[in-house]
């Protein structure tokens, strides 16, 4: 009896892509370590600069991800774009991605590479959302508090969202500490609704 065809879900596909990006990121790190002890950080900066440029130019991203554009055309365009702007290591790596039709993984590879560098250096990314921009003194105080709690070096990524009204939302990995006014109001609203429902029964 023939086996039923297996249909890959969106979640499965996303997980597979993330794993593949991790494999490429580790391979790039291994290659960078063979160049020099400082090369991994320099390559990371180059990767981030390229991703920033891709994010700022959607047309370039569409060109690189298009199935209608051949490997040779993509490789030639990338070689011209990276000439004098990227190390030999990164240019060679991008060439490998192009040859394997994996340029669509570039953003995922950059993110995975950054996570690996952070782990090696004992750093931990922390997303902080506030209603208004944090002052330098507030950032320093928050950094010290997080460092003491996490026993690792926090790398703050600050975002402003006026909708939270006040307080802050701190995310470390999958853990979220929400002390925003919006969160408290939502909790109060939920509590009042529950009380209203119980009184109505």
Looking at the chain, which residues constitute the CATH 1.10.520.20 domain(s)?
10-118
Which residue, among 60, 56, 118, has the nearest Cα to 94 in the 3D structure? 60
pLDDT in tens, 8-28: 454 555 688 889 999 999 999
pLDDT for the residue 83: 81
Q: Answer yes or no: are the C-beta atoms of 138 and 128 closer than 8 Å.
A: no
Q: Answer yes or no: are the C-beta atoms of 128 and 142 closer than 8 Å.
A: yes
CATH 3.40.30 fits 123-200, yes or no: yes
pLDDT in tens, 86-128: 899 999 998 899 888 888 888 999 999 999 998 888 899 899 9
What is the overall mean pLDDT for the chain?
Answer: 85
pTM for the structure as a whole: 0.67
| Mean of pLDDT values over 170-184 | 90
State how far the alpha carbon of 92 is from the alpha carbons of 18, 82, 95, 103, 151, in Å.
22, 10, 5, 13, 37
| Mean of pLDDT values over 44-72 | 85
Looking at the chain, which residues constitute the CATH 3.40.30 domain(s)?
123-200
Confidence of residue 199 (pLDDT cuts 50, 70, 90): low
CA atoms lying within 13 Å on the CB side of residue 150: 20
**Distance between CA 115 and CA 26 in Å, rounded?**
10
| Mean of pLDDT values over 75-96 | 86
State how far the alpha carbon of 32 is from the alpha carbons of 26, 60, 88, 193, 201, in Å.
10, 26, 11, 57, 67
**DSSP assignment, residue 84?**
T
Which CATH number applies to 10-118? 1.10.520.20
Q: How many CB atoms lie within 10 A of CB 6?
A: 7
């Amino acid at each position: 009896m023939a086996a039923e065809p297996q249909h890959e879900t969106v979640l499965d596909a996303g997980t597979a892509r993330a794993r593949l990006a991790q494999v490429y990121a580790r391979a790039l790190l291994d290659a960078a370590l063979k160049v020099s002890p400082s090369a991994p950080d320099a390559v990371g900066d180059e990767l981030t600069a390229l991703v920033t440029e891709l994010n700022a130019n959607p047309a370039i991203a569409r060109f690189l991800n298009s199935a209608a554009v051949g490997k040779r055309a993509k490789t030639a365009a990338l070689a011209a774009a990276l000439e004098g702007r990227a190390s030999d290591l990164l240019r060679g790596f991008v060439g490998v991605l192009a040859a394997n039709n994996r340029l669509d993984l570039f953003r995922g590879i950059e993110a995975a590479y950054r996570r690996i560098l952070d782990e090696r250096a004992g750093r931990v990314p922390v997303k902080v959302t506030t209603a208004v921009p944090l002052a330098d003194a507030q950032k320093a105080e928050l950094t010290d508090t997080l460092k003491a709690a996490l026993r690792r070096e926090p790398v703050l990524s600050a975002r402003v969202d006026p909708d939270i009204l006040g307080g802050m939302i701190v995310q470390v990995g999958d853990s979220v500490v929400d002390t925003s006014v919006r969160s408290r109001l939502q909790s109060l609203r939920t509590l009042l609704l529950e009380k209203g429902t119980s009184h109505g029964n």
